[in-house]
Amino acid sequence: MEEYGRRPTPTTALQGTDGSEVFSADLTRQGPALIVFPGPTAEAHDVLAELPLWVRRLPKVGVAAVLPESLGGDVGGLRVRLLRDPQEQMRQVLAPGDAPMAVLFGTDDHLAGGPAVGLREIRTFIDDVEGHFATMFAGPRVLVTSAATGPYCCPFIALPQMREDRLLDVDFACFSEQSHPTRARAMHPRLAGKIPKMLAWATNPGYDYYVWIDSCFALTRPDAVAWFLDQVGDHDAVFFPHRSRTSVAAELEFVLSGMAAGDEYLLDRYGGEDLRNQVAAYLSDSTFEDSRLIEAGAFIYSSRIVQDARSNVMKEWFYQNCRWSVEDQLSLPYVLHLFDVDAVMIDAPSIYECEYLH
């Protein structure tokens, strides 16, 4: 899109369907946002009819529709965020009038495009936005997954990710009880939580790299994904070494000793799991050298290792968690060995001291 004099986004608030105040920063928390004002004229229904198409054409842009009171609450099941503009305060700031209008809010509290007024102008505006986003991203496609469940969960932060002055092609997917089937009748929550951790390549295919971040961590720097990509380089996967132990056998001894001493945290997570036989099965494999333990709270892997959906290391890792135990640090070194994955350890003292994680 052509450069133009960028204006600050309005400081007035829109209103959510629950009556809550929604500010521009709320709309752009995960990236730029297209805000569409259908208006009260006859063209409003044409705008609403085309909204689903615009959503598909702009996968990197959040889309919200600011409905006039005259449309009421029936808008045909639109899968976009629906808002109201009390007393048309924001509309008056952006472009007064009744004609349909669209504007692109940037992540820096300034307009990134528009306003475009009238359906014809909006269509041209959507073409420009689509073309702009098609050429602006640098590097491979990356999906960052996490889970927002449990008492140790950090706020999920989907910061736009950069490499120097270029925006990286990064999407975020956060598992939660609202966004993902919990399968409460079939799975303990800890096993269900392994689905986004180990099977993101299956639930969200089409990415070049997958980054997992445990819910106790968050990416709080815009160059964090670039750092992960630099770490993995031409390798298949990159992990953090365990800060205290260096073998699966040592991890087993730690967990068993802790549970025997009454450690409630360990008992709650691993009580009743078949840990002894699990490790015994791994150590009985004469080709497996038990000399590596991994902190599995954050890692990156290439889609190369999951291209065969019938048999790949991440699928096997999930199977081991079903077969033996959800203590996934026990099974990870073995499955990496089993599938001969080119995995390297990050040269850092601890995952908990990594400047790219909070």
Q: Tell me what the mean pLDDT of segment 159-177 comes to.
A: 80
Q: Tell me what the mean pLDDT of segment 118-123 comes to.
A: 92
Question: Among 287, 256, 281, 260, which residue's Cα sits nearest to residue 331?
Answer: 281
pLDDT recorded at residue 3: 53
Domains of the chain in sequence order: 14-117 (3.40.30.10), 137-353 (3.90.550)
Check whether 237 has a pLDDT greater than 70: yes
Q: Per-residue confidence at 79, pLDDT binned at 50, 70, 90? A: low
- A 10 A CB-CB count for 267 gives 15
Check whether 89 has a pLDDT greater than 90: no
Q: Tell me what the mean pLDDT of segment 77-95 comes to.
A: 82
What strands, in cross-sheet order, belong to the sheet with 137-147? 162-163, 166-175, 137-147, 209-213, 294-302, 237-241, 343-345
Averaged confidence pLDDT in the chain: 87
Using DSSP bridges, classify how beta strands 101-105 and 14-16 pair: parallel, antiparallel or unpaired: unpaired
Q: Tell me what the mean pLDDT of segment 88-112 comes to.
A: 88
Question: Among 81, 69, 68, which residue's Cα sits nearest to residue 17?
Answer: 81
Assess contact for 58 and 104: CB atoms under 8 A: no
Using DSSP bridges, classify how beta strands 237-241 and 101-105 pair: parallel, antiparallel or unpaired: unpaired
Ramachandran angles phi, psi of 196, nearest 5° = -65, -25
* Cα dist from 123 to 93, 129, 253, whole Å: 22, 10, 64
Check whether 181 has a pLDDT greater than 50: yes
E-assigned strand segments in the chain: 14-16, 21-22, 33-37, 62-66, 81-84, 101-105, 111-117, 137-147, 162-163, 166-175, 209-213, 237-241, 294-302, 343-345
Q: Per-residue confidence at 326, pLDDT binned at 50, 70, 90? A: very high
- Give the rounded distance of the alpha carbon of 247 from its chain centre: 31
Q: Per-residue confidence at 72, pLDDT binned at 50, 70, 90? A: low
Check whether 142 has a pLDDT greater than 60: yes
Check whether 321 has a pLDDT greater than 80: yes
Comparing 79-93, 138-152, 337-351, which segment has the lowest mean pLDDT? 138-152
pLDDT in tens, 106-119: 877 888 888 999 99
Q: Per-residue confidence at 298, pLDDT binned at 50, 70, 90? A: very high
pTM of the model: 0.68
Check whether 125 has a pLDDT greater than 80: yes
pLDDT in tens, 255-275: 999 999 999 999 999 999 999
Question: Among 15, 155, 16, 35, which residue's Cα sits nearest to residue 106?
Answer: 35
Q: Tell me what the mean pLDDT of segment 43-47 comes to.
A: 84
